[in-house]
Amino acid sequence: MNNKGPIDVEDAGVRVFAFREIAWAPIPVERRVEGGAVFQMQVRGAPEVRIPALDLSAAPTLVAEGPRPGSRGERLACHLEGGLLSVTVPDSAQGRWIYY
């Protein structure tokens, strides 16, 4: 799914537009590897996101993609809250694949 749209902020007659892009989906079975990710997401322009938790465990671990495609990067702060997965996405993980 993709949730993008402008945020219109007016200050002293200046109009600024910021765009958020959020995409997430389960990883297709044919792409999964043993012990690998089952879910992926990508975020641009949103430092905090909340998405439906799907069938995630009570203690989710999210990892941003590292410098090479498919490599592990930094762990992201996240928690389950009311059926939603709440994720803090630092600047270093913006636009990178994030895996569960």
pLDDT in tens, 21-73: 899 898 899 999 898 888 899 999 889 999 888 677 767 889 999 999 878 99
> In this structure, how many other beta carbons lie within 10 angstroms of the beta carbon of residue 53?
17
Number of domains forming the structure of the chain:
1
For residue 87, is pLDDT > 90? yes
The predicted pLDDT at position 73 comes to 95
pTM higher than the cut 0.85: no
Domain range for 60 is 5-99
For residue 83, is pLDDT > 60? yes
Radius of gyration over every alpha carbon of the chain, rounded to an integer in angstroms: 15
The predicted pLDDT at position 63 comes to 96
Q: 89 Cβ partners below 8 Å, 6+ apart?
A: 43, 46, 47, 48, 49, 76, 98
